[in-house]
Structure formats: structure tokens, C-alpha cells
Amino acid sequence: MDAIFLQILNGLDKGGAYALIALGLTLVFGTLGVVNFAHGALFMLGAFCAVTFQNILTLSRKVKDESITFFDAYKEIPYLEIWFGETGMAIIDWAVPLSLLMAIPVMLVIGLVMERGLIQYFYKRSHAEQILVTFGLAIVLQEVIKSFFGANPIPTPAPEIVAGSANVGALFGLGDTVVYPYWRLIYLLFSLVVIGAVFAFLQFTTFGMVVRAGMADRETVTLLGINVERRFTVVFGIAAIVAGLAGVMYTPILPPDYHIGMDFLVLSFVVVVVGGMGSLPGAVAAGFLLGILQSFASMNEVKSVLPGIDQIIIYLVAVVILLVRPRGLMGRKGVMED
């Protein structure tokens, strides 16, 4: 029982990341009709926003180390610490959550530039060409990041106060064996909040209403004299922000390197397809579902029966779903069916 509970929790935070990326993918696909293979790169750019922010905060000056007396020793002290003392240290400690503030505008700009600069010319082209050009873009972004930050994963720790693990078991009346890192819990909550915010935005604002109407019947909305395209551009920006935030918050869980986006992208596409192309709830549900399935498959008990299942479970599920329910779990009729 404890083990099962723990695996569900384990699956949920990974599922949260899948769901966030898949949500953005589906949003872009549902509105613009573009299959965006560069979406994983947006996730990666978000993660590197956190890295950059941390680097900025820890800009240091070489100071003579007074505690060592027999020779001249120097240590690097961040400017923030020199200027603000304890407060400065605390700010550095909170680098990852604070970088969310930087990531939102940066990702918005990146998203808008990407859409206006490249994606808009591909609305009328075939899906194969969309896939290819965004695939190329993903490679370019990834290599640019690599040339700036190197190929190795960069550690970006969570704030110290949430570095430990929570005894979740006690909360639910289970044994003491169910302990779980705070940050992963935060990630789960964070992803739920972001997903909720996106849905609320689409459901309860006029802007969202127009977007939904445009998703359902673009032509009619255009005939009503509404500039749908401009709104869809904003939607692309929002999708970029969602992917970026998912990336920022994931950095303490997995130190980012330049191909983290590609790793997530392939999985996220599978998630979108399982959830049903163009269905937002489907993408979210499938994200969490596949996350949980994956963590169950990596239990030793399961692996001893079916060796290697943890490596392929997601793909296996995708194959089965596509063959049994071709539209995915919640896919709409007429989407991507030619």
C-alpha cells in the first residue's frame, strides 16, 4: 500500500511536467493547427532562464580570504552578498522560484518572436513541413544553448528551506516509509495551479472565449470581424510561457542540459496523441496518467515480471491507444483526420 502510494506521488510530479508541455502543444495545435516540434526547446529555454538568473545573481568579485594567513588566498563572494549581507544570501538561495519572474516576460517574447518570425508562414503548409521546420529550429536553439552553457548538466538547487523531504505518509495515516521531497510536491501543486490558470483563462475571460470559438470554427469567427490570428499569436506566447515555467521549476529536480527539451518533447508528443490531438483536458489527463504508469512500471516488483517495461511503457501505451482508440482518450472528431 505504502509503495503504491509512493509510486503514485512519484508519477504525479513527472506527470505534471508532461501535462504542462502537452498542454502547450495542444493549445498551439488546436488554435494554430501547427505541429510544433520546437516546443521541447521552449521547455529547455525556460530551464536555462533559471540557470541564467542564478548566474546573474551569483556574479561574484574576487575577495582576499582573511581566514587563511600563510598565503594569499582568494575566494569569490557574490555582489549581492557584499551589498546586502544576509538578505543577499537569501535572494541567491531563492534563485529558482524568483527566476519565474524573469522567465515569464522572456518566454512571452520568445514565443511571440517565434510565431511572428517563423511559424506564421507555415499555417498553410503541410504538417510534414511544419514538423521539419520546427525540428530544425529545435536543433538550432539547442545548439545555441550548448555553445553558451556547455554540454554538462548545470546544478540549480532549490531553496534550502524546501530541500528536505516531507513525511507524506503521516499525513495520510500511512507508515513512515512514505517520504517525499518537498520540491516535488511544490512542482505538483505548481503544475496544477498553472493548468488551472490556463483553463480559467480560456473559460472565464472574453479573450479566452474568442480563442475557444476560434478553435471550434475559425472561419465563422473571422467572418464576425474578429482578428483571430492576432489572438492566436498571443496563445502561442502563452503556450511558450507554460512550457518555460514548467522548465524553470523542473531544474531542481533534474539539472538541465541542452538536450533536456528533446527528451521531454518525444514523450510529450506521445502524451498529446494519447490524450487526443486538440483536446486540452485529454492532454492533461494523459500527462498525469502516463507519468503514474511510468513510475509504476519502474517498481522492482513489476520489473521482475516484465523486464525492461519501464523503458517502453509510455510508447507501448501510445501504440495500444492509437490502435484501439484512434482519436486518443478525448480526441474530437475531425481533428487531423484526412
Partner 1 sequence: MGFFKLSRRDAMTMLIFIALVLLAPIWLRPFGAAYPDLLQKFAIFGLFAIGFNILFGLTGYLSFGHAAFLGIGSYTAVWSFKLMSMNVIPAVFFGTLVAGLFAVLIGYVSLRRTGIYFSILTLAFAQMCYNLAYSVLTPITNGETGLRVLQDDPMVIDGLFGVVQEGSPIGNFFGINMQGYPAFYFCAVMLIIGFFISLRIFRSPYGLKLAAIKSNQNRMKYTGFNTRPYLLWAFVISGMYAGMAGSLMAVTDPLAGAERMQWTASGEVVLMTILGGVGTLIGPMLGSVLIKYFENIFSAFNKGALHDVFAFMPDWLENLVVAVVHPFVGEGWHLTLGALFMVIVIFLPGGLMEGFRRLSRLRGRKPAK
Determine if 264 is a binding residue for partner 1 (CB under 8 A): no
Binding piece for partner 1, criterion CB under 8 A, among 2-10, 159-167, 170-178, 310-318:
310-318
CB of 110 to partner 1, least distance (A): 16
Interface with partner 1 (CB under 8 A), residue from 8, 131, 213, 329 = 131
Return the biggest CA–CA distance within the chain. Answer: 81
Instruction: Output DSSP code: residue 64.
Output: E
- Choice from 189, 205, 315, 325 touching partner 1 (CB under 8 A): 315
Kindly write out the interface string for residues 21-60 of this chain, putting x where it contacts partner 1 by CB under 8 A and - elsewhere: --------------x-------------------------
Minimum Å distance from CB 193 to partner 1? 29
CA distance 180 to 162: 11
Sole window of 19-27, 53-61, 68-76, 263-271 interacting with partner 1 (rule: CB under 8 A): 263-271
Nine-digit cell at 231?
489572438
Which letter does DSSP use for residue 256 in this model? -
For residue 87, give the DSSP letter: H
- Cell numbers placing 107: 518566454
Among 82, 227, 266, 325, binds partner 1 (CB under 8 A): 266
By CB under 8 A, residue 277 contacts partner 1 = yes
In the structure grid, which three cell numbers stand for residue 26, read together?
495542444
State the nearest-atom distance from the C-beta of 104 to partner 1, in Å.
Answer: 27
Rounded to a whole number of angstroms, the minimum distance from the CB of residue 290 to partner 1 is: 12
Residue 226: enclosing H or E segment and its boundaries? Answer: none
Asked whether 99 and 78 are in contact (CB, 8 A), the reply is no
The window from 59-67, 212-220, 224-232, 318-326 that contacts partner 1 (CB under 8 A) reads 318-326
**Residue with smaller CB distance to partner 1, 232 or 269:** 269
SS (H, E, C) 153-182: CCCCCCCHHHCCEEEHHHHCCCCCCCEEEH
| Binding status of residue 329 toward partner 1 by CB under 8 A | no
Give me 277's grid cell: 490531438
Kindly tell me which residue out of 1, 223, 305, 323 binds partner 1, with binding defined by CB under 8 A.
323
Q: Which of 76, 69, 108 is nearest to 92 (CA)?
A: 76
Options 16-24, 46-54, 122-130, 188-196: segment touching partner 1 (CB under 8 A): 122-130
Please give the grid coordinates belonging to residue 116.
Answer: 511572428
> Applying CB under 8 A, does 128 fall inside the site for partner 1?
yes
Among the candidate windows 5-13, 88-96, 192-200, 320-328, which touches partner 1 by CB under 8 A? 320-328
311 binds partner 1 (CB under 8 A): yes
Sequence-ordered list of residues with C-beta below 8 angstroms from that of 103, at least 6 positions apart, any chain: 46, 49, 50, 53, 241, 244, 245, 247, 248
Query: What's the CA angle centered on 263, arms 123 and 13, to 5 degrees?
Result: 105
- Verify binding: residue 302, partner 1, rule CB under 8 A: no
Residues with Cβ within 8 Å of 82's Cβ and at least 6 positions away in sequence, in order, are 61, 63, 88
Q: Which of 89, 100, 112, 139 binds partner 1 (CB under 8 A)?
A: 139
Site for partner 1 in 146-175 (CB under 8 A): 146-147
What is the smallest separation between the CB atom of 38 and partner 1, expressed in angstroms? 10
Helix, strand, coil percent values for the chain (each to nearest 5): 70, 5, 25
CA dist 306 → 237, 270, 272 (Å)? 42, 22, 26
List interacting residues with partner 1 (CB under 8 A).
Answer: 35, 118, 121, 125, 127-129, 131-133, 135-140, 142-144, 146-147, 262, 266, 269-270, 273, 277, 307-308, 311-312, 315-316, 318-319, 322-323, 326, 336, 338
